[in-house]
Amino acid sequence: MDEKSIIYVISDSIGETADQVTRAAAAQYEGAACDIRRIPYVSEKQTIKEIINEAKKHNSIIVYTMVIPELREYLEKEAQDQGLVYVDIMGPVIEAISHITNTKPTYKPGIIRQLDEEYFKKVEAIEFAVKYDDGKDPRGIKKADIVILGVSRTSKTPLSMYLANKNLKVANIPLLPEVEPPKEIFEIPSKRIFGLTSSPHKLNVIRQERLKALGLSFEANYANMDRILQELEYAESIMRKIGCPIIDVTNKAIEETASIILRIMKEDK
């Protein structure tokens, strides 16, 4: 390539993939001056025609990632008619995958970027759930999409993490008779708050298992039935005061409880 060599990188999305491949290939030619011009978000045939007309004035190559078949075919025809070299980065791979999987692609531009954004939202939600787990910082209450209340061992933390994987920011708050609940739970809409309760017997069994795992005596107040009843009564009084939904998780899997919360949220919207 001489000083006037130009590579037009065309895409119906941001064009990052084609740009990176082109630069990696161009880097193999030491001393060769190469002007790489990226044109993203091309969605009309007229734009393609204008680029081809400009490219034919120079010593040019067309490199492209056009997912939409109609635009890809039009670009190829125009480039061929003008005698330009053109390289399809995406098309052959899409066709190969379609062949071996016997399925059809979505032909949706920019889908990998959307998947990346979805991934980072999930990571952010998980980090949020960890940061505001078990009432660590009441400031998370006003930032949360969902706030979960309940006594110890009502599955607040695993439920928070499950919902975080649905891209929801969740804060969970333990309720204890001796500890004043954070004022923030009374300052946000009750529809963002969900209370969890359970049968005293189930909690007794779970807490005894917890004590056993910690090597502690079953005689501890934590697993005492009277204490459990006191905690449940106090927690439910707070939930009723807020006016939030109360979900009995006694015989429910995490997925089932989450499904109930998601359904209620959808109905509220």
Give backbone dihedrals phi and psi of 219, rounded to 5 degrees, phi first. Answer: -75, -10
Determine whether the annotation assigns residue 152 to a binding site: yes
What is the spatial distance between Cα 218 and Cα 257, in angstroms, rounded to a whole number?
Answer: 29
Distance in angstroms (rounded) separating the CA atoms of residues 41 and 139: 41
DSSP-based three-state secondary structure for 262: helix
Residue 243: count of CB within 10 angstroms of its CB? 10
C-alpha span between 260 and 240 (Å, rounded):
18
Q: Is 154 annotated as a binding residue?
A: yes
Residue 151 annotated as binding site: yes
Please indicate if the annotation marks 47 as binding a ligand. no
Annotated binding residue at 156? yes
* Cα–Cα distance, 256 to 239 (Å, whole number): 20
Residue 153 annotated as binding site: yes
Instruction: Return the axis-axis angle of helices 225-242 and 200-214, rounded to nearest 10°.
Output: 120
- Residue 184: CB atoms within 10 A of its CB come to 17
The packing angle between helices 69-81 and 45-55, to 10°, is: 30
Q: Is 217 marked as a binding-site residue?
A: no
**Nearest by Cα to 41 from 3, 72, 14, 80:** 14
Q: Judging by beta carbons within 10 Å of its beta carbon (0-12, 13-18, 19+), is residue 71 exposed, middle or buried?
A: buried
- Copy the structure tokens of residue 239: 């939930």
106 known ligand binder: no
Binding residues: 150-157
Binding residues for ADP: 150-157
